Amino acid sequence: MRSNNIKLFSISFVMLFLEIFLIRWISTEIRIFAYISNLVLLACFLGVGLGCYFSKKNANVLITIGMLVSISLAAESQPFQNITEMLSNFPDSVIWGQILKTSSGLLVLNGTVLTIFMFLMILVAFIPLGQILGKLLDEHGNIIVGYSINVIGSLIGIWCFNIFSFFYTKPWVWFAFAIIILLFFIPRKKSDMLLACSASILILLITGMLNFPSPIIWSPYQKLIIYPNMYLDIQNGWAINVNNTGYMSLLDLSEDFVKRYPGRYDITERRYNIYELPYQFIDKKDAALILGAGAGNDAAGALRSGVKKIDAVEIDPGIYKLGRELHPEQPYEQKNVAIAIDDARAFLKKTKKNYDIITVGLLDSHTLSSNYNNMRLDHYVYTLEAFRNMKERLERDGVISVTFGVRRAWIAERIYGLLREVFGDVPYVFNVGSDNPGFGWSGTMFITSNNLEKLKNAVERKPDLKNYIAEHSITGLGRIKLTTDDWPYLYIEKPGIPRMYLLVIVAIMTVLFIVKKILFNFENSKVNMHFFFLGCAFLLLEFQNVSKAALLFGSTWIVNSYIISSILFLILMANLFVYYSKIINVKVFYSLLLISILILYLMPIDIFNAFGFWTKSILAVLILNLPIFFAGIIFIHSFKSVSSKNIALGSNLIGAATGGLLETVSFITGVKSVLLLVFALYILSLFYLNRNKIIN
């Protein structure tokens, strides 16, 4: 029994570790996977679920290692890395770095086929792990203890990967660690071990030694590649590729440097770069807040413009570290610059300061905020409520400047509409930075103020500024659906599932249906619908909690880790409750579950902001996750009573994968309404409770 418990812990640990790092790594190397709702997570769940169905057959972990070799080769190959370009040109969604041209039908077909191929490789990799898990749980003498070991292993797997991320380790280290654990599940045959070790070395070579020559940093959020930034024939700083696409620079725009190259720079044009231009709209320059401070260009621009006190907010500690070490003007070393490594929205809620100007500088991150939802890091920064938070932190005559790399006209219309709704008008919208690329990135700048009359008077007093705006002005912006905390999807044109999502999801569902019909006519293949709906509802509930936690505490990796950990902890508490209690009627807990879901639906999330940080943290975690506790009681009570535990667990995981697909409903109805779907799914699980011959 002890040996089986160790195996159960180990397989649970390595499954979660593999799942999280594949989500992170594949979404970075093949960026389309960071946009299609939880596709890697869906493949992992389906693989484990199908493995549970096959748990009566011998598992071969060599298949997992072989698939990891194939996944590594594919992810580092040009055809798979081109998937993003093949599928990114649908007009109703935006992907950073997309080429705005019409993709041919053949390119779209190729991209779809390659995406499905990667999906199936991940799925197959997890089938042997699911077989081992299903067999160990099915044969366990005490299923509550067994399932608790499974949850504890998963919890530690999550935090182990977080520790790896915290220390900026690279993917080859993640692979090496996971493979060492997988080797314990390989039969002790000399040929099998030799094959496994050879495949492992190949993976490490692919993901470690055969990489870019430029320095690579894997921060807790993103992959950062640093290389010299060249303007004409001179190096004017450094450039950073984020997740394999051009994204950021660290530029020397100091007066000494610019004057050193009069043939390449015109010092009179420097004031019109995106980093300094916002400060021409204000007279009082006592305090500035920079949201999305990056590696320091914005802070350097504020310093050159004479701002006395600067608060710079950047979520990625890796980017801040590069800025502090490499930025030619060293803005983060200046005493009047205070850096906060935090989520922009979270900082706005914490700070009590007011500012003469708030600048939102090219904060479009296009990076997943969590492994368990379809939000980007910046989604909750560009909402109606977020701009209201910014307005509250402005002085009476304060100005707000938003600069964005607009890829579609409707993005500009959305930001314009948000600012107009909050401030009453947006008098200045213009393109900036395209005249001289040596002065930095280009974008669209939106300028408005708490005091519109004073803002307009300030521009009238500066003829050069007025003329520059007139020459670069953007007009004729129409109306579009505004983003809110309930519908925060900045990169989707309107409520609905974008065509790219639909194409890939329908293609994958079609392939899975065909594969099931051809290959999976195995005994006891019927899905246990009670556990299917429990899994489906649970993942959607998890999506809700992670999304709401991002609103309350920010979209940082540590917040996500704490929320997922609290969910797993409450599942353990539910197991403990069932272990020591005799449940006469599980329908009582169904009633408590459904009531708690309705409370969450009716309760405004801002109610928690009335409390201090620690009180808010405790109350939010307990109340938001209360349905998880009741759902956990229902699950483990049913699980210990069902005869075919491997089928029940497989059905639950396949249901969770389906829940991952159903997350896209929030694109249509908003995040909050997903709770009504959760409510309905738990009703369905209750309906099938006795129909699956489960003792209640």
**Strand pairing category for 245-251 and 394-404:** unpaired
The answer to which of 163-172, 204-213, 243-252, 593-602 has the lowest mean pLDDT is 204-213
CA 472 to chain centre: 34
What confidence category does residue 127 fall into, taking pLDDT thresholds of 50, 70 and 90? Answer: very high
For residue 493, pLDDT over 80 is answered with yes
- CA–CA–CA angle 496, 500, 502 (5° rounding): 60
Say what the pLDDT of residue 412 is.
93
For residue 531, pLDDT over 80 is answered with yes
Q: Percent of the chain having pLDDT more than 70?
A: 92
Q: What number is the average pLDDT over the span 162-189?
A: 88
How far is the C-alpha of 617 from the C-alpha of 601, rounded, in Å? 19
In the chain, the domains with their CATH numbers are: 1-212+497-523 (no CATH), 265-364+384-472 (3.40.50.150), 526-696 (1.20.1250)
Token representation of residue 118: 């990667």
Contacts of 651 (CB under 8 A, 6+ apart): 49, 527, 528, 529, 530, 531, 532, 535
For residue 516, pLDDT over 70 is answered with no
Q: What is the pTM of this model?
A: 0.90
Q: Where are the alpha helices (DSSP H) in 54-104?
A: 61-75, 78-81, 83-87
Please give the helix or strand (H or E) that residue 251 lies within, else none. Answer: strand 245-251
CA 367 to chain centre: 5
pLDDT in tens, 624-673: 889 999 999 999 999 998 888 888 898 998 899 888 888 888 999 999 99
- For the chain, how many helices (H) and strands (E)? 26, 11
For residue 192, pLDDT over 80 is answered with no
pLDDT in tens, 425-460: 999 999 998 777 888 888 899 999 999 999 999 999
Token representation of residue 131: 């077989």
Q: What is the mean pLDDT of the chain?
A: 87
Of 331, 322, 344, 227, residue with least CA distance to 275? 331
Q: How far is CA 386 from CA 94, 404, 418, 488, in A?
A: 21, 16, 10, 10
Say what the pLDDT of residue 695 is.
40
Amino acid symbol at 27 = S
Stronger pLDDT, 33 or 626, i.e. the higher one: 626
How far is the C-alpha of 373 from the C-alpha of 120, rounded, in Å? 21
How far is the C-alpha of 661 from the C-alpha of 667, rounded, in Å? 11
What confidence category does residue 523 fall into, taking pLDDT thresholds of 50, 70 and 90? Answer: very low
Q: Where are the alpha helices (DSSP H) in 95-246?
A: 105-138, 143-166, 171-182, 190-204
What are the DSSP calls for 371-415, one per residue?
TTSS-BTTTTTSSHHHHHHHHHTEEEEEEEEEEE---SHHHHHHH
Of 336, 501, 317, residue with least CA distance to 493? 501
Q: By 3-state DSSP, what share of the chain in percent is helix, strand and coil, each rounded to 5?
A: 60, 10, 30
Say what the pLDDT of residue 364 is.
66
Q: Percent of the chain having pLDDT more than 90?
A: 49
For residue 693, pLDDT over 60 is answered with no
DSSP assignment letter at 205: I
Contact status, residue 441 vs residue 526, Cβ threshold 8 Å: no
How far is the C-alpha of 431 from the C-alpha of 449, rounded, in Å? 19
Say what the pLDDT of residue 522 is.
46
Max Cα distance, the chain (Å):
85
For residue 694, pLDDT over 50 is answered with no
